[in-house]
């Protein structure tokens, strides 16, 4: 039986996301898709379903949700306070959301983008081959209070599984490859870039995030007359005032600002999920190191299902079934916001 | 023009060049300054790449002077893809290839200056001409879609007369609306979305270039030619409400 999810109260930027739409770069349309693709894979593993299905991306804050049928759910990505009918529920765990129960999801505590997955995925009609909302291109739109989403057919009834997420929250080191214009930047500028502590600007969005820092900036001579050339997600563009912008899933497809390098795809979620107070540092790597890192990341994603563990409960905690904390480091969901 | 041609020939030795872009991209560039043969080479080379349908290649596109490939480096190594590209490059003189077939000439009515396009005066000043000269020059120029990029369906058009070789601005304009016509480095961009930009906003049109709900979501194609005739604000307002074409018309080019 399939049903629908109603958004009773929408956070500021709720969008349906999947892995995005490839194949339209030649027409100026970037792939888009989830800002944190690892979270999408983790949700798919928890739900025991294809990573091609669509989930709800919640930037900074969730909202209130109700379904009209019993629905399996999982929450991944940035941890937010979450309750079902007032009872705290754990992040990175599969749960049953009973029909009519209110799932309320509050502010992000550990990152920026949280994801709500449902068994069967959100069943939107694909446009140009994907269900992902592309905000900047006007495909789909930001969801509002009162909107409903169809839920696809769920082939499983398994809940109560836990997955320890890949570490990518709270900033840290971000690996960067040299790219087309890296040579425009002097060795001194590149060294300064690698040794600077950056903070993600509050105004970051699905197109890109500005990096704040103390210091003179990373301008290059002649940088304003660079011919427009192809852009890929992860490119670090230096705009006219010398500040780096890391371009994200919905970035432009070409651009003329010089780019000092490109964040590895497997490290892009670390940028997307950094809260403004977190420190990000960039480090140049070789292509060989990048291939190795991506191979490892790919292997990790493939192994996610094998890492699921049952949510074992202590009888003394049976009154609090949904929020049992299995190992340290996993948020139970009952902390104060 | 003769100087440009000589320069292109002299620089030909360095080009085409193959470089990596980020982790999973490869770029074949046919030059580093705008030239008609290099733009044609990029378009023709991409058409050939599409035809090859290589394993592991996920998509391709063109920018002004380059053909871009996205592939899966975990399935095919960078060296393998590069070798295939090199072989294809050697097959013909790509600079001598013809433009794509089915090209069209578009006329897109444009309001220049005023509060709809507030940077006309500034752009004219940077180019060292008067406001009226700027309008005359831009509205009479016949430019070609050299690539579609930045945003969905959005063309980069060129090449404008030499005097329009002006840099982008230092700071971004926080927002230009859909349909904005903007200028820098002897090119025009006709914006398909509302966006911040470093290009100077000199004209405003009423055309919608990306129509995701339509069967033909993308209006312009690389190789199409475009003129931006000057119209009054009144004419523009009427066109705005007349449909997604905004008064634009096209004819087939032979």
Task: Say whether both A121 and A268 belong to one domain.
Answer: no
- In this structure, the answer to whether residues B64 and B109 fall within a common structural domain is no
Contact between residue A182 and residue A37 where contact means Cβ atoms under 8 Å apart: no
Same domain, yes or no: B66 and B21? yes
Phi, psi of B153 (to 5 degrees): 75, 10
Residue A19 and residue A61 in one domain = yes
B88, B192: one domain: no
CATH number, position A224: 2.40.100.10
Q: Considering only alpha carbons, which residue of chain A is nearest residue B172? A: A240
Stretch B221-236: mean pLDDT:
95
Query: Looking at the structure, do residues A231 and A155 belong to the same domain, yes or no?
Result: no
Whether residues A47 and A64 share a domain: the answer is: yes
Whether A199 is covered by a domain: the verdict is yes
Torsion angles phi and psi, residue B235, rounded to 5: -60, -45
Instruction: Tell whether the model's pLDDT for residue B112 goes beyond 80.
Output: yes
Residue A212 neighbours by CB distance under 10 Å: 14
- The 3-state DSSP class for residue A302 equals helix
Considering the domain architecture, whether residues B200 and B85 belong to the same structural domain is answered as no
Calpha distance A61→A114 (Å, rounded) = 8
CB neighbour list of residue A186: distance below 8 Å, 6 or more residues apart: A220
Instruction: Yes or no: say if A32 and A249 are a contact pair by the CB < 8 Å rule.
Output: yes
Same domain (yes/no): B116, B225: yes
Residue B2 has a pLDDT of 42
Q: Does A312 or B153 have the greater pLDDT score? A: B153
For chain B, the farthest-separated pair of C-alpha atoms sits apart, in whole angstroms, at 58
A228 → closest Cβ in B20, B63, B73: B63
Q: Given a cut of 90, is residue B9 above it in pLDDT? A: no
Q: Are residues A16 and A153 in the same domain?
A: yes
Give chain A's residues under pLDDT 50.
316-319, 321, 324-337
Interface contacts (A, B; CB < 8 Å): 152
Name the residue with tokens 């560039």: B29
Give the model's pLDDT for residue A323.
52
Query: Do A229 and B147 make contact, defined as CB atoms within 8 angstroms?
Result: no
Same domain for A103 and A29?
yes
Residue A305, token pair as written in the block:
């299902």
Q: In this structure, are B50 and B159 located in the same domain? A: no
One domain, residues A181 and A266: yes
Do the beta carbons of residue B68 and residue B18 sit within 8 Å? no
Q: In this complex, do A137 and B20 lie within 8 Å of one another by their Cβ atoms?
A: no
Give ∠ CA A318-A322-A323 in degrees, rounded to 5: 90
Under 8 Å between Cβ of B50 and B60: yes
Cβ atoms of A223 and A215 closer than 8 Å: no
Cα A72 to Cα A52: distance, rounded to the nearest angstrom = 17
Measured between alpha carbons, how far is B69 from B59 in angstroms, rounded to an integer?
6
Q: Is residue A329 part of a domain?
A: no
A 200-229 residues inside an 8 A Cβ radius of B? 224-225, 227-229
Residue with tokens 């480096």: B73
Beta strand residue intervals within A132-198, DSSP E: 148-150, 161-162, 172-177
Q: Is the pLDDT of residue B68 over 70?
A: yes
* Domain closes at, from B64, B96, B128: B96
User: By the CB < 8 Å criterion, does A265 face chain B?
Assistant: yes
Total of domains in chain A: 2
* C-alpha dihedral, A156 to A157 to A158 to A160, nearest 10°: 140
Residue carrying structure tokens 């759910």: A73
Q: Which residues share a beta bridge with A255? A: A229
Query: Distance (Å) from the C-alpha of residue B224 to the closest C-alpha of chain A?
Result: 14
Mutation for B interface: A178, A209, A225, A227, most B CBs within 10 A: A227
CA B1, distance to chain mean position in Å, is: 21
The Cα–Cα gap between B195 and A253 comes to 13
Q: Give dist(CA A52, CA A50) in Å, integer.
A: 5
Q: How far is CA B238 from CA A190, B32, B116, in A?
A: 52, 42, 15
The pLDDT, as a whole number, for residue A1 is 58
Whether residue B111 sits in one domain with residue B17: no
Task: Mention every residue, 6+ apart, whose C-beta is less than 8 A from residue A176.
Answer: A236, A260, A261, A262, A263, A264, A282, A283, A284, A285
Query: What domain range includes position B18?
Result: 2-96
Rounded distance, CA B203 to CA A150, Å? Answer: 43
Closest to A79 (Cα-Cα) out of A88, A87, A94, A90: A90
Length of chain B counted residue by residue: 254
Distance from CA of B162 to the nearest CA of A (A): 14
Contact B135, B112 (CB under 8 A): yes
* Cβ contacts of A265 on chain B, cutoff 8 Å: 22-24
Higher pLDDT, B242 or A9: A9
pLDDT value at B82 more than 70: yes
Q: Chain B closest CA to A164's CA: distance in Å?
A: 25
Answer yes or no: do B144 and B232 share one domain: yes
| B120 close to B202: Cβ distance less than 8 angstroms | yes
Of residues B68 and A216, the one with the higher pLDDT is B68
Distance CA B21, CA B28 (A): 10
Rounded Cα distance, B220 and B210, in Å? 9
CA distances from A287 to A147, B24, B60 (A): 45, 10, 21
B195: nearest Cα among A250, A58, A200, A140: A250
B238 Rama sector, left if φ>0, alpha if ψ -120 to 50, beta otherwise: alpha
Instruction: Tell me the shortest Cα–Cα distance from B76 to chain A, in angstroms.
Output: 11
Residue B8 has pLDDT above 60, yes or no: no
pLDDT(B3) > 80: no
Cβ(B166)–Cβ(B185) below 8 Å? yes
If asked whether residues A177 and A90 sit together in one domain, one would say no
Q: How many structural domains is chain B composed of?
A: 2
Range of the domain at A278: 172-299
ipTM for this model: 0.89
The predicted-structure confidence for B21-31, as pLDDT tens digits, reads as follows: 999 999 999 99
State how far Cα A68 lies from the chain centre: 27
CA pair distance B146, A225, nearest whole angstrom: 17
Distance CA B57, CA B70 (A): 6
**Residue in the structure block whose two tokens are 């930037």:** A59
Q: Is residue A337 part of a domain?
A: no
Distance CA B148, CA B145 (A): 7
Q: Give A278→chain B minimum CA distance, Å.
A: 25
Asked whether residue A73 falls in the same domain as residue A153, the answer is yes
Please judge whether B148 and A28 are an interchain contact, meaning their C-beta atoms are less than 8 angstroms apart: yes
- The CATH number of whichever domain residue B49 belongs to comes to 3.30.1360.40
Which residues of chain A have a CB within 8 Å of the CB of B192?
28
In this complex, the residue of B24, B60, B151 whose CB is nearest that of residue A136 is B151
Check CB contact of A291 with chain B, cutoff 8 Å.
Answer: yes
């Amino acid at each position: 039986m399939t049903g629908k999810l109603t958004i009773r109260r929408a956070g500021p930027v709720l969008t349906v996301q999947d892995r995005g739409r490839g194949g339209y770069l030649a027409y100026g349309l970037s792939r888009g898709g989830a800002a944190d693709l690892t979270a999408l894979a983790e949700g798919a593993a928890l739900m025991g379903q294809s990573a091609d299905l669509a989930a709800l991306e919640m930037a900074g804050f969730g909202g209130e949700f109700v379904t009209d049928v019993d629905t399996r759910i999982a929450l991944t990505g940035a941890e937010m306070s979450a309750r079902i009918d007032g009872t705290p529920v754990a992040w990175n765990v599969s749960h049953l959301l009973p029909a009519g129960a209110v799932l309320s999801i509050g502010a992000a505590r550990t990152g920026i983008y949280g994801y709500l997955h449902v068994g069967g995925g959100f069943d939107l009609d694909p446009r140009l081959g994907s269900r992902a909302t592309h905000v900047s291109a006007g495909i789909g739109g930001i969801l509002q209070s009162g909107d409903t989403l169809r839920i696809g057919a769920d082939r499983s009834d398994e809940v109560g599984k836990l997955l320890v997420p890949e570490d990518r929250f709270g900033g840290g080191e971000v690996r960067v490859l040299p790219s087309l214009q890296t040579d425009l930047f002097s060795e001194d500028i590149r060294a300064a870039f690698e040794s600077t502590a950056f903070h993600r600007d509050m105004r970051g969005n699905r197109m890109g995030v500005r990096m704040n820092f103390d210091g003179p900036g990373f301008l290059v001579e002649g940088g304003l007359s660079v011919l427009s050339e192809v852009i890929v997600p992860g490119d670090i563009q230096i705009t006219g005032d010398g500040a780096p912008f890391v371009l994200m899933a919905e970035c432009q497809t070409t651009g003329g600002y010089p780019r000092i390098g490109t964040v590895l795809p497997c490290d892009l979620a670390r940028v997307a999920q950094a809260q403004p107070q977190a420190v990000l540092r960039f480090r140049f790597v070789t292509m060989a190191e990048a291939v190795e890192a991506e191979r490892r990341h790919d292997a990790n994603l493939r192994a996610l299902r094998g890492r699921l563990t049952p949510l074992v409960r202590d009888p003394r905690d049976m009154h609090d079934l949904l929020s049992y904390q299995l190992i340290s480091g996993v948020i139970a969901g009952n902390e104060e916001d | 023009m003769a100087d440009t041609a000589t320069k292109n020939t002299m620089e030909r030795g360095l080009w085409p060049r193959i470089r990596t872009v980020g982790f999973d991209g490869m770029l074949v560039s046919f030059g580093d300054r705008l030239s008609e043969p290099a733009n044609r080479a990029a378009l023709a080379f991409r058409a050939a790449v599409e035809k090859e349908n290589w394993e592991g290649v996920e998509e391709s596109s063109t920018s002004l002077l380059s053909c871009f490939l996205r592939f899966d480096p975990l399935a095919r190594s960078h060296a393998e893809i590069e070798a295939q590209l090199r072989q294809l490059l050697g097959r013909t003189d790509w600079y001598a290839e013809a433009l794509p077939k089915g090209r069209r000439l578009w006329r897109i009515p444009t309001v220049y200056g005023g509060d709809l396009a507030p940077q006309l005066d500034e752009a004219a000043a940077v180019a060292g001409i008067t406001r009226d000269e700027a309008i005359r020059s831009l509205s009479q120029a016949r430019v070609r879609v050299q690539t579609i990029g930045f945003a969905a369906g959005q063309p980069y058009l060129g090449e404008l007369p030499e005097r329009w070789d002006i840099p982008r601005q230092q700071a971004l304009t926080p927002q230009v609306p859909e349909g904005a016509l903007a200028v820098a480095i002897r090119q025009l961009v006709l914006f398909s979305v509302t966006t911040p930009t470093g290009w100077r906003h000199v004209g405003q049109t009423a055309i919608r270039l990306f129509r995701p709900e339509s069967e033909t979501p993308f209006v312009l194609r690389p190789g199409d030619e475009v003129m931006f005739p000057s119209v009054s604000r009144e004419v523009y307002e009427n066109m705005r409400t007349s449909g997604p074409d905004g008064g634009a018309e096209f004819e087939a080019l032979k």
